[in-house]
Amino acid sequence: MSVINIQDQLNLLGLSKENSGTKIGNSSIKGGSVIQSHSPVDGSLIGAVDTTTKEGYEAVMKSAEEAFKSWRVTPAPLRGEIVRQFGERLRTLKAPLGALVSYEMGKSLQEGLGEVQEMIDICDFAVGLSRQLHGLTMHSERPGHRMYEQYHPLGIVGIISAFNFPVAVWSWNTALALICGDVCVWKPSEKTPLCGVACQKILADVLEENSIPAGVSSLINGDYAVGEWMTEDPRMALISATGSIRMGKIVAQKVAARLGKSLLELGGNNAIIVTPDADLKMTLMGAVFGAVGTAGQRCTSTRRLIVHSTKYEAVKDALIKAYGQLKIGNPLDSSMHMGPLIDTDSVNNYLNAIEKATKEGGKVIVPGGVLEGGAYNSGCYVRPTIIEAQNHFEIVQEETFAPILYLIKYDGDVNNAIEIQNGVKQGLSSAIMTNNLREAEAFLSVAGSDCGIANVNIGTSGAEIGGAFGGEKETGGGRESGSDAWKVYMRRQTNTINYTTELPLAQGITFDL
């Protein structure tokens, strides 16, 4: 077994055993209590990060406000040049940063490297976008008038990210916010704080080398209390929050109470529909990666497999065989398919979900359980499980961040399957496996999938940065990454110019003096 030496990777990233968790650019601010980061891979202490105090938070916000004054008037293509250099630096540090993501979060090394590649991709996307932040020109009803709209920076963008994608989601927000002229304040998950410190340093180095104000990018750390400072702060023009539905509802209410803007990326309960015309090999690949990748800790993980009765037994048999071949272990070993869950709390949630499913009448067809001893001494390794279930089960209606796949049978046409798929409160990602054009189009139609992402003949995971990412219903309605998601980070302004010597009013109104 060839496993990467993680200490070598930390040295390349400039991380030490003790790190400041409050940063304005590269400048450290004295913090409070300490967060220790233990790897779920082997339980080892990776390093520690001190938390942000109220005084430190105020210093960050004042610096961000000041930096915004000059950053917003920097031409957008020049802002794009900074993001381009950031992307190049990520290319150089892809290997060590990917290894850190894998070791601190627990996802496979290939997925860790893939997450850094997402960062690089969004930088490339943002660089091109920095020359295309365009509005529209409209015809005025008044002669001698010109109307158009333009977009201006919002201000300070507060980013609250989750542990499962500890670097990519931050970069989705940051790359777009920066080219839009905003400045960023980031609170990473307290479960993956070192990934936050590493990314802040990479970007801060680029800012420093280009004499850009340090307050353009800042880092804060802590628990929910630090997040509350952000959500309640009217200086935060936009709060972009990724996490649970419970967390998102709190954020939405607090930000709405001050009439601020929020971008929410919350839970998913994603399904793949398998119709009689599905390709079994493609179905198997999409379902297994979707359910097992990142140990089921993606918001786009496949939770439900909705299979037509004519395909049901064949799909079940193939899944049982495939799960028997999965390798679980140290994610830094490239031969492993699945690493650990993030912590023992997640393990307990996983065990409780299996117990609830069986109590509700579910039948376990691939047993789960906790792996113990030897290489599994962190207590965070579990076996992926498959349970035959019904969509109405209370536990099936919930999102469990673990490798649990519910196998659900349907009869009739594809509309019955779509109804089952849509019959949950979340609406993030969805997929259908079929070679039938009519079924595919029905799935994508207005009466089809109610999710923000709907795929045909691919799984629910693995979104590309070119498309807008996000979901509907209790997934929050937010959109990040590609397409026109950049507009969230800007304010729209309509302009009318009168180039005549007269002052006609709209709608033909007369007002004589």
Tokens representing residue 83 in the block: 């993001």
Tokens representing residue 383 in the block: 């076996």
Neighbouring CB atoms inside 10 A of 369's CB total 12
Residue 353 and residue 400 in contact, taking contact as beta carbons nearer than 8 Å:
yes
Residue 271 and residue 304 in contact, taking contact as beta carbons nearer than 8 Å:
yes
Which residues on adjacent β-strands are paired with residue 185? 158, 218
Residue 239 and residue 263 in contact, taking contact as beta carbons nearer than 8 Å:
yes
Provide the 8-state DSSP code for 33.
Answer: S
Task: Give the helix/strand (H/E) hosting 454.
Answer: strand 453-456
Residue 297 and residue 111 in contact, taking contact as beta carbons nearer than 8 Å:
no
Separation between Cα atoms, residue 439 and residue 474, nearest integer Å: 26
Residue 141 and residue 167 in contact, taking contact as beta carbons nearer than 8 Å:
no
Q: Residue 500, SS3?
A: coil
Residues 6+ apart with CB under 8 A from 92: none
265 among known catalytic residues: yes
Q: Residue 212, SS3?
A: coil
Separation between Cα atoms, residue 80 and residue 243, nearest integer Å: 29
Separation between Cα atoms, residue 310 and residue 287, nearest integer Å: 18
Catalytic option among 118, 265, 439, 474: 265
Separation between Cα atoms, residue 411 and residue 417, nearest integer Å: 8
- Classify each residue of 259-269 as buried b or exposed e, where b means 16 or more C-beta atoms within 10 Å of its C-beta: ebbbbbbbbbb
Question: Residue 33 — φ and ψ, nearest 5°?
Answer: -65, 165
Which is nearest to 449 in space by CA: 288, 301, 273?
A: 273
What would the DSSP string read from start to end of 88-150?
Answer: HHHHHTHHHHHHHHHHHH---HHHHHHHHHHHHHHHHHHHHHTT-----EEE-SSTTEEEEEE
184 among known catalytic residues: no
Residue located via tokens 């047993």: 367
Separation between Cα atoms, residue 423 and residue 166, nearest integer Å: 30
Neighbouring CB atoms inside 10 A of 372's CB total 9
Residue located via tokens 């660089």: 127
Tell me how far CA of residue 501 lies from CA of 470, 506, 508, in angstroms.
Answer: 49, 16, 17
Catalytic option among 299, 380, 439, 451: 299
| Residues constituting the chain | 513
Point out the residues that are catalytic. 265, 299
